[in-house]
Structure formats: structure tokens, C-alpha cells
Amino acid sequence: MSVEVTTLKSGINVVTDAMPHLETASLGVWVASGSRDERHDEHGISHFLEHMAFKGTRRRSARQIAEEIEAVGGDLNAATGAESTAYYARVLKSDVPLALDVLADILSDPSFDREELLREQNVIIQEIGAVADTPDDLIFEHLQLVAFPNQSLGRSILGTPKTVRSFDGGKLRAYLGRNYRAPDIVVAAAGAIEHRAVVAEVEKHFGGFNGPASPLPEPANFGGGTHVEKRELEQVHIALALPGVSIVDAALYSLQVFTNILGGGMSSRLFQEARERRGLCYSIYSFHVPYSDIGMFRTGSGACQSADESRPADGAGKLRRAHRAIGPADDHPRPPDTARRAGGQGRRGHG
């Protein structure tokens, strides 16, 4: 096994998987902090911080951050989730020290320049608008809110225009100091790397992170309910959620297999029943999202108009009936290795 793990004195975990036959490396910093850790007046700040990390430090301007990595043929990006935020890069093996230096710099010493801050607020408000104009994205924003009402886990990761406009350098630094702490940070690298060299670079560049682990968020409670929003569209977008299991639950992998069999691909029972047999929709799928203490099982689809071009809602009703019409396994003969194949699909990151 080529995976090695070292926990530094500060509490940062360094995980590597050396692949000597490669000439490139992927590496990143994963922080156990996301939108779920936001206070009520911080709605959207996790995502905003992720954006602002790339907008300059005391050593580098926003342009220099982008150019230093791309000048050596690499790329740099980030993503915010409910319970984690990731900052990552891909570079040639000789540029691993540079990538770690840049990642440490943007996280430990962001400048939060006021002009950059105002510009990025406008960018994120445009991003919020883009989601509002994309019904197959927006429906899952509504689904999350109904599933976890009055909880940070139910709120949009992007925030609202009002909350985004309220953020300044002081609020960003307070959130950063409260949540970006050494025991909550994992630095991971895979590819053309050497474990001891990565550990040495992390010790060199990430020394500013310390302190105890950040406080845990409040336990989540699945609520449930219904949300209907009428728009002049060609389709009715439908999403259904049920309570799932947490990421540490022993049933997680069984549920992932079930998810893939039900709606994980073209051979899935939902796809075969709703699209192939009945022609009700273009896409239909199911997936499970596990969190640290709870999970959410989801299905989603865009229901087409009925054949006589009557109200799109007619297609939605037929789609609901198609869900209920899926019979026992005997009604849908499967190869004996279906579960094994579905498990493999889950390991590849689908569903």
C-alpha cells in the first residue's frame, strides 16, 4: 500500500499516495469547514472566503496567484461544500513545492483587499442569479431547505445577495480564525510525490495554523415537507428526498449500491421505467449525500409534457406514478453480478 499518513505536531494531517510512474501530481488542502459551520449572519461566507482566497495575499496579487501556477502548466481551483472546503492544484512533479507554497499563502495570509472584495461580491451575486435561472439546479436548493428547515445545513451554500453584500474583511478573518484550524486540515497529495518531501513542505509553509479543533455544528434534523414554485417553463422539475445515513454509518455502502441500482445509470430501474418504457423524461436519477451525522437520499427528474401537449403537470403526475409502479426485483431480471457492478460504480464516484 503506497498511502502514507503523518500527523504534524500542530494537528495537520498529511496524506500521500506516491505513484512513481507518473510525472504529475495532484495535491490540495481540505478543511473540515463549510456552509454548515456558518452562523445566521454568515450565510454564504464559506463560499465567499473560498473566492477571496484567490484575490491576493501580502506576497502575491490575484493575477500572480493565477499566473504562477499556470506558467508552469498547472491549474488551481477550489470548491465549497456543506462540511468541507477544498483548495487544490495539479502540477508537474518539480512544481509540487510551488503549489504547496501558493496554497499555504492564499489560506494563511489573504489580504482581503476592499476593491477585490467588492468585485467578488458582484461575481457571486451573478452566480446566485445563474442558479435562480437554472431550474434543475434551483430545485435542489429548495429541496435542501425543505429537508433541513431553519438549519444551516438547509441553506444555500452561495448565500443571498443581502448576506454576500454584508461581508467585509473583518467578518472573513473572524470566520477564518474560528474554523480554519490545524486539527481540521488535511493536506493530501497523489502522483509524482515523495511523502517525506511533502511533509517537510507542509511543516515549512503551514506553520501558521494551530489551535484546537473548531467547534462542531448543531446536530441536523430531517424535517420534510413540500415546496411548489410555478414558472413558465417547458418542463416540471421534480425532486424527492428521504432521510439517508451518515458517512460513518455501516449501512452507507449498501445504500450506495441501492442508489445506483435504482437510479445510477441507463440500466437503472428508474431510467428504464420512466424514460425507456414510458418516455416521460430525458433524465432521471437518484443519489445519496452523506453528512457527518445524517444523510439525504434524493431522486430528481425533469418531466416532459404529455403526448397531447397538455399541461406539463400531467407529465409530472405520470412520473410520480412511474416511481410507484416499479415492482419487485423479479419484475426486472438482473444479471447475478448486478450488486457487484453497482458497487464498482459507487467506488468510481457515481450516484
Question: With 0-12 CB in 10 A as exposed, 13-18 as middle and 19+ as buried, what is 22?
Answer: middle
Q: CA-to-CA distance for 24 and 29, rounded, in angstroms?
A: 17
Q: What average pLDDT does range 175-181 have in this prediction?
A: 96
Among 1-5, 14-18, 243-247, the minimum mean pLDDT is found in 1-5
Q: What average pLDDT does range 297-320 have in this prediction?
A: 62
pLDDT at 311 over 60: no
- 243-265 pLDDT, tens digit per residue, is 999 999 999 999 999 999 999 99
- Give the confidence band of 281 by pLDDT, cuts at 50, 70, 90: confident
260 within 8 A of 346, measured Cβ to Cβ:
yes
- Give the confidence band of 309 by pLDDT, cuts at 50, 70, 90: very low
158 within 8 A of 47, measured Cβ to Cβ:
yes
**Closest to 33 (Cα-Cα) out of 76, 77, 75, 87:** 87
Q: ∠117-121-123 over CA atoms, to 5°?
A: 115
321 within 8 A of 271, measured Cβ to Cβ:
no
**Closest to 157 (Cα-Cα) out of 49, 35, 38:** 35
Query: Is residue 273 annotated as part of the catalytic site, yes or no?
Result: no
C-alpha dihedral sign at 310, 316, 317, 318:
positive
Percent of the residues in the chain that have a pLDDT greater than 90, as a whole number: 79
Compute the chain's Rg from CA coordinates: 23
C-alpha dihedral sign at 329, 331, 336, 340:
negative
* Pairing of β 281-290 and β 295-303: antiparallel
Cell of 303: 418531466
- Give the confidence band of 16 by pLDDT, cuts at 50, 70, 90: very high
Cell of 169: 474583511
Neighbours of 281 (CB within 10 A): 23
Among 78-92, 108-122, 164-178, 233-247, the minimum mean pLDDT is found in 233-247
Percent of the residues in the chain that have a pLDDT greater than 70, as a whole number: 86
In whole angstroms, what separates CA 211 from the centre of its chain? Answer: 26
Cell of 100: 504547496
What is the structure's pLDDT at 329?
53
- 20-64 pLDDT, tens digit per residue, is 999 999 999 999 999 999 999 999 999 999 999 999 999 999 999
What is the structure's pLDDT at 322?
53
- Give the confidence band of 310 by pLDDT, cuts at 50, 70, 90: very low
In the chain, which ranges are continuous DSSP H helix? 45-52, 62-70, 96-108, 114-132, 135-147, 161-166, 169-179, 195-205, 252-263, 269-270, 312-325, 338-347
163 within 8 A of 173, measured Cβ to Cβ:
no
What is the structure's pLDDT at 143?
97
The overall pTM is greater than 0.85: yes
Q: CA-to-CA distance for 116 and 65, rounded, in angstroms?
A: 14
What is the structure's pLDDT at 304?
62
Q: CA-to-CA distance for 199 and 106, rounded, in angstroms?
A: 19
Q: What average pLDDT does range 15-24 have in this prediction?
A: 97
Element spanning 75, H or E? strand 75-80
Q: What average pLDDT does range 17-22 have in this prediction?
A: 96
**Closest to 75 (Cα-Cα) out of 57, 93, 88, 60:** 88
What is the structure's pLDDT at 197?
97
Q: Residue 14: beta bridge partners? A: 6, 187
Among 3-17, 51-65, 305-319, the minimum mean pLDDT is found in 305-319
Q: ∠287-289-293 over CA atoms, to 5°?
A: 150
Q: What average pLDDT does range 89-94 have in this prediction?
A: 98
pLDDT at 328 over 80: no
- Give the confidence band of 279 by pLDDT, cuts at 50, 70, 90: confident
> How does the average pLDDT of the chain come out, rounded?
90
pLDDT at 327 over 80: no
Cell of 253: 455502502
**Closest to 181 (Cα-Cα) out of 33, 51, 46, 48:** 33
**Residues 38, 50, 68, 141: which is the catalytic one?**
50
What is the structure's pLDDT at 315?
47
Distance from the first to the final alpha carbon of the chain: 27
**Closest to 227 (Cα-Cα) out of 159, 144, 161, 284:** 144
